């Protein structure tokens, strides 16, 4: 049989060897690129995870800052109120030169009551425990006489000075009851926590 070599392509073996070497290099480079891509993706995912974690921490920090601002606002309000009370105490002591070592102060539960009110019983005839007229203009305060002697002067924060001339069945211990003008005033005042200074008669 006669072979037709007219269309045959003659390839130099050195060319084939060079092509094979180029192919091998391409495969190695492809594997390296694949590894590099995998490492890059891993780093991207790791960075994304760190960014997500950092974003979460930032949210926590922002929440903490908001809480700090709220706390600072509350503290500022409390300090302002304390400073105001302190100024009032200083002003009260300046107005009463007799305040000395026998005088004392602390916080009391303060309420208000009205003269000759049926709410205080049938024996509430408008006369105090010291037999003086229950006149709101006289600035009378009801006290526990076992703690504050009758005749003492009592300064109440934001209300001023009063004379201890009365008592009441519910006024025991650190309780004070200020004589009010009318029942509405007493009801609106309610029950409040106030600082008070007590100046005994002998002071």
Q: Environment class of residue 154 by beta-carbon count within 10 Å: exposed (0-12), middle (13-18) or buried (19+)?
A: buried
Written as six digits, the tokens of 83 are 């400073």
Other residues' Cβ atoms within 10 Å of the Cβ of residue 134: 21
Q: Where are the domains of the chain?
A: 12-90, 96-199
Architecture of the CATH domain 96-199 = Beta Barrel (2.40)
Which residue intervals of the chain are DSSP H helices? 13-95, 183-189
Q: What is the structure's pLDDT at 15?
A: 65
Mean pLDDT across the chain, nearest whole number? 77
| CA 85, 86, 91, 97 torsion-angle sign | positive
Residue 186 and residue 112 in contact, taking contact as beta carbons nearer than 8 Å: yes
C-alpha to C-alpha distance for 116 and 125, rounded to whole angstroms: 5
What's the pLDDT tens digit per position in 139-170? 999 999 999 999 999 999 989 999 999 998 88
Other residues' Cβ atoms within 10 Å of the Cβ of residue 168: 17
Other residues' Cβ atoms within 10 Å of the Cβ of residue 136: 15
Higher pLDDT, 104 or 63: 104
What's the pLDDT tens digit per position in 26-56? 777 777 777 777 787 778 777 777 777 766 7
> Is the pTM for the entire model greater than 0.75?
no
Count of residues making up the chain: 203
138 has a pLDDT exceeding 80? yes
């Amino acid at each position: 049989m006669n072979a037709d070599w007219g269309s045959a392509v003659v390839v130099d073996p050195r060319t084939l060897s060079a092509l094979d070497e180029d192919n091998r290099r391409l495969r190695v480079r492809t594997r390296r690129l694949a590894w590099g891509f995998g490492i890059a993706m891993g780093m991207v995912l790791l960075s994304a995870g760190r960014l997500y974690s950092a974003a979460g921490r930032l949210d926590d920090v922002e929440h903490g800052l908001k809480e700090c601002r709220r706390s600072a606002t509350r503290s500022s309000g409390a300090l302002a109120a304390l400073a105001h009370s302190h100024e009032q105490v200083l002003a009260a002591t300046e107005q009463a030169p007799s305040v000395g070592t026998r005088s004392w102060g602390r916080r009391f539960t303060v309420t208000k009551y009205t003269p000759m009110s049926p709410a205080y019983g049938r024996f509430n005839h408008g006369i105090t425990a010291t037999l003086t007229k229950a006149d709101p203009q006289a600035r009378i305060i009801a006290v526990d006489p076992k703690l504050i002697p009758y005749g003492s002067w009592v300064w109440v924060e934001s209300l001023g000075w009063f004379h201890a001339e009365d008592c009441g069945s519910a006024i025991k211990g650190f309780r004070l009851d200020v004589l009010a003008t009318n029942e509405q005033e007493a009801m609106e005042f309610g029950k409040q926590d106030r600082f008070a200074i007590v100046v005994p008669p002998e002071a």
